[in-house]
Chain A
Amino acid sequence: MHLSRNALLSCQILAAHKLRTLLSLTGVVVGVGAVILMVSVGRGAEKRILDRIRSMGTDLIIVNAAPARLMIGRQRTVATVTTLTPGDARAIADECSFVVAAAPAVNKSLVVRWEGNNTTTTVTGIASDGFHIRNILLGSGRAFDAEEDRTRRRVAVLGPTVVKNVFGGADPVGQQIRVGTVPFEVIGVTRARGIDANGADQDDIVLVPLETALRRILNIPYLHTIYIQARDSQRLPRVEQEVRELLRQRQRLAEGRPDPFTIQNQTTLLKTQRETANSMTLLIGSVAGLALLVGGVGILAVMLISVRERTREIGLRRALGAQRRDVQIQFLLEAALLAGTGGVLGVLAGLAATRASAALGMWDTVFSWPAAALGFAFSVTVGLIFGIYPAVRASHLEPIAALRSE
């Protein structure tokens, strides 16, 4: 069969049945478009997580003074542990070979007041290194230094959320606030950092020098957390091991007893998040794939109707010399043509929807060409698969019977 001679005719026949062609296209367009949009949204979520890893630093290791458990991907503190000390932090910084710096820290939820306003927020006492280790940047004002930490100065750096809640629009730098009952001077405001991997607002925070927090606010001698900066993000497992051994040794833990602390690096935590995002993408993608399948059934229906309506044409073509195979190929090609056109339109629709949802700020999206290619390939495959049955049926019509049918 001369395909090129027939292809144009097939196009004309499809174009002539506008409504039918349009209806069957719609299913494929929606299916392919949905697949692409969903994958793009999923990729967008993944990119946001990756960006977050970068903002936190991939070389960050966190030691928490509690045998924390991960429940549904979130961190739960189980009990108060009083064994982690500033001495541990110093030892880690001094003795572990791949550690650049370690910043001890404590956290407590407290009320912060300014004039008539107050808000409950997380007050973090942290060594001055902590700004660098945790990649906390200043939006205005300045951070506190080691000297201010040593002398237990009552200075505070606020997160943007606290500024918004307590100061409204006013400039907080130089103002006096009360943290609990203790007066503090605001010396700086951090840059916005957004939501962390656990879903907490990283900007709802008041940072004060560690010694100030230990002696003037909490009145405790132990730490909640040590933030560690590793020299090399490739060696995190090794550093973790080093830190674990050092801490167990310092705390004289017998072999076999569980760690009274938890060591996490951000990348493992975020990997879980990323996997969640991936499985989400997969799930939504499968639903979209179902839509595509429905589109395929649409093509099946259209091609079957087409076989019925075109019985005489099939009979005529057989009489004029078409072999069974020629008829099969023709119907398959028409199905593939339908699906292919639907695929192209679907890719365009997916692209448009992706752009639109990003522009409207509904989701972060990353348009994925592999997903577009996959969607297109899938639609053509669906078209071919659902085109086979009508094609075979068409080819098995008896030419005379087909010619005489009304």
Chain B
Amino acid sequence: MIEIENLTKTYTKGAVTTEVLKGVSFRVAKGEFVAIMGSSGAGKSTLMNILGGLDQPTSGTYRLDGVDMARAGDDELSRIRNHKIGFVFQQFHLLDRADAMKNVMLPLIYAEGDGDSAARAEKALTAVGLAARKHHRPAELSGGEQQRVAIARALITDPGLLLADEPTGNLDTRNGLEVLGLFQRLHREGRTLILITHDRAVAEHARRLIVLKDGRIAEDEPVAQPRDAEAELKRLAADTPAAKPG
């Protein structure tokens, strides 16, 4: 599904040239759940932008479903982002003025074809367990719920690839685990996920771990004992019986 070969990315700012990616190669097959891990400055955000079709590599090739992304024009990249990639951001990036339904429907504005967008949005919200809160605005939702709305938005065009950039970065442990649990369920349902994080505990919810260091791959192997977010949630609830509901 994803084929990356000898990818480099160099930023030039004035006279200073920074090599962020120094030859990265890997493949991701359909249905994999991969975590890309690295400390800040390791190049993981740059990699994520290239994977998401938001940025072009300086050299090397990136094929998504056989399409050479380096050769795709701006409009084609937009189309690919719309129907092949679902983004989940650390900052959620929801529109404050619109309710959950409107936020989830946003990608459909740019999608081809017709169909009942409201029905699709409801289905996506149901999939993330938020059908009851569809008319709430982001400000009326908890952080975890906001991120789940963002995931519903990423799912609505039924993309082959889900790209999550520090999706738990702005969430507390419990909400973070809920989001990770959702990802694990989506993985079981056969979706391809790439999770980008600096946190090993988060990364270990995936099945495969790629560690970036200084713009190169330092480590690429299956997670020996993947964590189970749902089990962790249960344990968390048991540990804090006095915790307020909701």
Binding site for B on A (CB under 8 A): 1-2, 5-6, 9, 12-13, 16, 312-313, 315-326, 399-400, 403
Contact = CB atoms under 8 A, between A and B. Distances in A.
A318 B78 CA distance: 7
Given A5-B105, A403-B89, A321 B110 contact: yes
Given A5-B105, A317-B110, A321-B81, A16 B117 contact: no
B205 interface: no
25 contacts: A5-B117, A9-B98, A9-B102, A9-B109, A12-B97, A12-B98, A13-B95, A13-B97, A16-B97, A316-B95, A316-B106, A318-B54, A318-B81, A319-B54, A320-B87, A320-B106, A321-B78, A321-B81, A321-B83, A321-B110, A321-B157, A323-B75, A323-B78, A325-B75, A400-B49
Nearest to A325: B75
Nearest to B46: A400
B97 A320 contact: no
Contact of A1 (B49, B52, B87, B109): B109
Contacts of A326: 78, 109-110
A77 B202 CA distance: 102
A404 to B, nearest CB: 9
B108 interface: yes
B110 A322 contact: yes
B111 A321 contact: yes
Contacts of B172: none
B134 interface: no
- Could you tell me the dominant secondary structure of chain A's interface residues? helix
Most chain B beta-carbon contacts within 10 A, residue among A13, A315, A400: A400
A321 B97 contact: no
Contacts of B189: none
A326 B81 CA distance: 14
Contact of A320 (B55, B102, B110, B117): B110
A312 B153 CA distance: 16
B135 interface: no
B18 to A, nearest CB: 16
Most chain A beta-carbon contacts within 10 A, residue among B81, B95, B110: B110
A310 to B, nearest CB: 9
Given A316-B93, A321-B78, A321-B111, 18 more contacts: A1-B109, A5-B105, A5-B108, A9-B95, A9-B98, A9-B102, A13-B97, A312-B93, A319-B54, A319-B93, A321-B83, A321-B107, A321-B110, A324-B74, A324-B75, A326-B78, A400-B55, A403-B89
Given A312-B93, A403-B93, A319 B110 contact: no
Most chain A beta-carbon contacts within 10 A, residue among B97, B109, B157: B109
